[in-house]
A and B are shown apart, each in its own frame.
Chain A
Amino acid sequence: MIDCVESRLLTSRRSLLLGGAVFAAWAYLPKFAHAADGRDPRLIVVILRGALDGLSTVAPVGDPDYAGLHGSIALAADGAHPAIMLDSFFALHPSMPEFARMYRDQHAAVIHAVATPYRDRSHFDGQDVLESGYAGPGRVQSGWLNRALEALPRGERVSSGLAVGPTTPLVLRGNAPTVGWAPVALPQADDDTAMRLVDLYRHRDPVLASVLSQGLQLEKAASGDDMKPKPGNQVAQMRQVARGAAKLMAADDGPRIAALAFDGWDTHANEGGPVGRLAFLLGGLDGALAEFESGLGDRWRDTVVVVATEFGRTARINGTDGTDHGTGTIALLAGGAVKGGRVISDWPGLKLANLHEARDLKPTTDLRSVIKGVLQGQFGLSDRVLAETVFPDSAAARPMKGLVA
């Protein structure tokens, strides 16, 4: 089922795809093995929309201020649901065992206290900065990943980017051609959107609040236990999307670069600690990473998955057992090409004086440096192209070295 609104854009796109020559561009490509090192690199960018709580995903349990600030939702290395110690200081959320395994195998890494150059608190603008690759929200209609594609030697290693989902995320929009794929399963509004709407109705339209709540309950009742993966469940959807994308990218003539987005990370209320809402979502992300690994098969060896979000959340929990819009957060890298087993961080500390605006984890690493490091490691893009074209005016954010094995 699709939206009720057919646009000219969609229609013309549809007429194009009916032509069916989607693969022609790849058909004449050489087998992709890079002459010098025999590698055939792949890059997947996963955007978590809503601003992930980095302090709850990779918790600085060794920081003496962490437990107090994060209060009832803080992770701990002991208890009923112990966090997984990554080193002596940082611990991973217990709902991410697959990432933990990749980390132990040196194929996953965490970069902590990162942020884009954006310092305000609007999701929309934060996502614009994250995806456009510009230093400020400027409503630019192209993304850094598309510009990176354009900068690659044409027709050689990578020809088209794969946009997973109903639309192409901004990060992959631009002049370089992209192909799209989305799972066909009937899309449903996610729980977070439904919750926000019920809340709005409660304040403005009690009749609609009650009616919509009933409708949502009917659906839950019809689909059974909320926490088990099933069609329509957000966790199942994340896995399904990753499985499909991996399958496409595993093909010899498949796309080398993909971008997708997972929604629902805006945890203002009832965020939960080792169990609960965030745990549920992180479990979905973990499952998606595992699907990428198994679906890419031998190609996993040459793959890097970058997981990034528009900004972090407040260090201190709020009055509704959640966290508000913050700044510093994490980026995750996973894949056989990652030089992993490390949490990379210039840790700023969580003392009040060290927090950004006395609220947020202070960013000490520019996310652009991380992404530049990955692009350089995977595709050999030059410092100059990265600083001028891919991330304009970013020379100060030097590519991070040694992220790719």
Chain B
Amino acid sequence: MARDSQAALVALNRFGFGARGGASGDLVNAASDPRGFVKAELARPNGVLLEAPGLQSTPQLGQAVFAYQDQVKQAREAAKAAAPTEPPQQAPTDQKPGLRRNLSLNAVATGIAGQMSDAKPADNAAKPDTMQPGASAPPAAKPAPQPLNVIQKTFRAEALARLQRATLVECGFTERLVVFWSNHFCISASKGELARIWAGAFEREAIRPHVLGRFADMLKAVEQHPAMLFFLDNQQSLGPDSRAGQNRKRGLNENLAREIMELHTLGVGGGYTQEDVTSLARIITGWTFAGRQGQLGTPGSFAFNANAHQPGPQTLLGKTYEATGLAQGEAALADIARHPSTANFVAAKFARHFVADDPPPALVARLRDVFVKTDGDLKAMAMALVDSDEAWKAPLTKMRSPYDFLVASGRLLARVPEDPGAYINNLNLLGQPLWTPAGPNGFPDTSAAWAAPEGMKLRLDIAAQMGARLGPNIDPLDLLEFAAADAASIETRRTIERAESRQQALALLLMSPEMQRR
């Protein structure tokens, strides 16, 4: 069987999240049939869907937020009357021999046991599982860690499910596709409590089922998802001539309509005008989600509010859409999805993400043609990418995003995350907070954006910590074999061989061009 390690690198890194360490044999498998290795994942039925115990639907999560908000309100009112109570002390448990436990200077100095509080898994808390000396400070009783609220718990559970899937899958191509489309149709968890609790469900419900399906179906699922409607304010948008619009002072909000055309489909310069934006905004008035009172349906579910919908026919991109209520918008989206500008925009972005910042024009043209010919079959487009020569010939020069880098590192180290806290913290540090891009255009997708001075320095610090933690137990040269085998550069191999410790060797391996570029 012919072995092509260079092609294996492409299969694993360009299309996937890198090789897994341990006994996976990923590099060998990929080297014997690189294209087949990548395509195998696309063939797996339901391989993109993500289900994990405890993950809930968007309406269930919406109701959980409403209930939580009610609780907070009640607690606040109750607190006004009642006096504050002491936080409960944590009960000590039996220790077991033979394992390292961590130690507090304060506790030793004062003989007080039972205050080993590392139990603060808050999303932003960057705490190691060891204690601060503070030897001269008086032993302040630490408050019991704040229990996570339902929003934080959900966010972490969704993050963990996604991270575990990315760490465990064989190649990672489908998960890369999920991340690509999720970033294309991004929402931001920083928008508010609903966006935060819905961030994972949005991806599971609106993105994953369509990643190997049709673009038009994904578009519809995304634009009708409560998370997107909330993120881009469409639930506030009222048709000026609708009953609700006439009763209230508020009117049209163009936010979602504009981003649909600018960011989700046609692209800037895709041939639409301000008139079209306003028109689409009118067309999708009434697209909202049912609120806590449930007047429009199950609280937290998508709803069409006819009372807020602008009556009458609308003209969009030269075509008139009759007043058919919800169907008016669905027809408009279906047409936008198969617009030639959409095909161009999507094909170029797809090629840029997977192949190069400046993708080969012939490749973009071919992907566009496939998109057009198949009426937006995203699996066909992904297959066309894998079948292209360009994707296998272009040098591996794309910079891994922080998410890619952290997942690739976890895979190589064969560590299945059981707690998403460290990933969440590191993504915050590295400027790619999970499901939280700065704007509706998503995280940047060029090498220059991620190969930034501060970012690289922080990556090195994180790699050094991983080295310090995990280095003693690994053989760095074995790991290099798993990561790149004979496709590793001589310089990288030498740098790792000559490191002064396994810890340092691991840090250098994780930072090597083979691990940073894809």
Contact = CB atoms under 8 A, between A and B. Distances in A.
B449 to A, nearest CB: 12
A208 B516 contact: yes
Interface in A227-266: 240, 243-244, 247-248, 251, 253-254, 263-266
Interface stretch (A91-99, A182-190, A315-323): A182-190
Nearest to A214: B453
Contacts of B114: 20-21
A169 B94 CA distance: 25
Contacts, number: 289
B92 A178 contact: no
Interface stretch (A11-19, A71-79, A356-364): A11-19
Contacts of A8: 416, 418
Contacts of B464: 187-190, 193
Contacts of B406: 4
A175 B416 CA distance: 26
Interface string A11-38: 1111011111111110100000000000
Contacts of A214: 453
A207 B98 contact: no
A19 B101 CA distance: 10
Given A2-B128, A193-B504, A11 B418 contact: yes
Contact of B410 (A5, A254, A263, A266): A5
Contact of A4 (B409, B453, B502, B517): B409
Contacts of B472: 167, 169-170
Contact of A211 (B126, B451, B470): B451
Contact of B456 (A175, A176, A215): A215
Nearest to A170: B472
A180 B492 contact: no
Contacts of B119: 18
A203 B491 contact: yes
Contacts of B115: 20
Nearest to A182: B130
Contacts of A182: 102, 128, 130
B263 to A, nearest CB: 28
Contacts of A219: 457
A127 interface: yes
B105 A20 contact: no
A166 interface: yes
A163 B100 contact: yes
A49 B99 CA distance: 24
B98 A166 contact: no
B403 to A, nearest CB: 10
Contact of B133 (A13, A192, A243): A243
A189 B463 contact: yes
Nearest to B452: A211
Interface in B92-148: 92-105, 107-109, 111, 113-119, 126-133, 135
B233 interface: no
A14 B127 CA distance: 12
A103 to B, nearest CB: 27
B133 A244 contact: yes
Contacts of B96: 16
Contacts of A7: 415, 418, 470
A285 B513 CA distance: 34
B12 interface: no
B278 interface: no
B317 interface: no
B108 to A, nearest CB: 5
B317 to A, nearest CB: 42
Interface stretch (B206-214, B244-252, B292-300, B419-427): B419-427
B512 to A, nearest CB: 7
Interface in A44-79: 49-51
Given A189-B460, A208-B516, A4 B511 contact: no
A212 B508 CA distance: 13
Given A168-B100, A253-B111, A205 B500 contact: no
Contact of B491 (A204, A207, A211): A204
Contact of B503 (A18, A203, A240, A263): A263
Interface in A150-188: 162-163, 165-170, 175-184, 186-188
Interface residues of B, number: 93
Contacts of B517: 205
B507 interface: yes
Interface stretch (A194-202, A347-355, A375-383, A386-394): A194-202
Given A7-B415, A16-B95, A244-B133, A167 B451 contact: no
Nearest to B417: A6
A178 B90 contact: no
Interface residues of A, number: 86
Contact of A196 (B127, B129, B461, B495): B495
A165 B468 contact: yes
B501 interface: yes
A173 B239 CA distance: 70
A194 B459 CA distance: 11
B134 to A, nearest CB: 9
A17 B425 contact: no
Contacts of B409: 4-5
Q: Which of B132, B469, B475 has the most CB of A within 10 A?
A: B469
Contacts of B331: none
B505 interface: yes
B100 A21 contact: no
A80 interface: no
Interface string B475-518: 11000000000000101100100111111110110011100110
Nearest to B135: A247
Contacts of A199: 495
Nearest to B505: A124
A193 B470 contact: no
A179 B495 contact: no
Contacts of B94: 19, 21
A143 to B, nearest CB: 11
A1 interface: yes
A24 B92 contact: yes
A266 B469 contact: no
Contacts of A10: 129, 469
Q: Which of B98, B100, B127, B501 has the most CB of A within 10 A?
A: B100
Contact of A123 (B132, B468, B501): B501
A194 B130 contact: no
Contacts of B499: 123, 196
Contacts of A170: 472
A357 to B, nearest CB: 19
A396 interface: no
A225 interface: no
Contacts of A216: 457
Interface in B204-239: none
B112 to A, nearest CB: 9
Contacts of B127: 1-2, 184
Q: Which 5 A-B pairs have the closest CB atoms?
A: A215-B457, A19-B93, A50-B500, A189-B464, A215-B453
Interface of B: 90, 92-105, 107-109, 111, 113-119, 126-133, 135, 406, 409-410, 413, 415-419, 421-423, 425-426, 429, 447, 451-458, 460-472, 475-476, 489, 491-492, 495, 498-505, 507-508, 511-513, 516-517
Given A21-B94, A166-B469, 9 more contacts: A1-B426, A2-B465, A12-B99, A14-B129, A21-B93, A180-B102, A189-B460, A189-B461, A193-B467
29 contacts: A3-B465, A3-B468, A4-B410, A5-B410, A5-B470, A13-B102, A16-B99, A19-B93, A20-B92, A20-B93, A21-B95, A23-B108, A24-B113, A175-B97, A179-B101, A180-B100, A181-B105, A188-B464, A189-B464, A190-B464, A192-B500, A193-B507, A204-B492, A211-B451, A215-B455, A215-B456, A218-B457, A253-B108, A268-B498
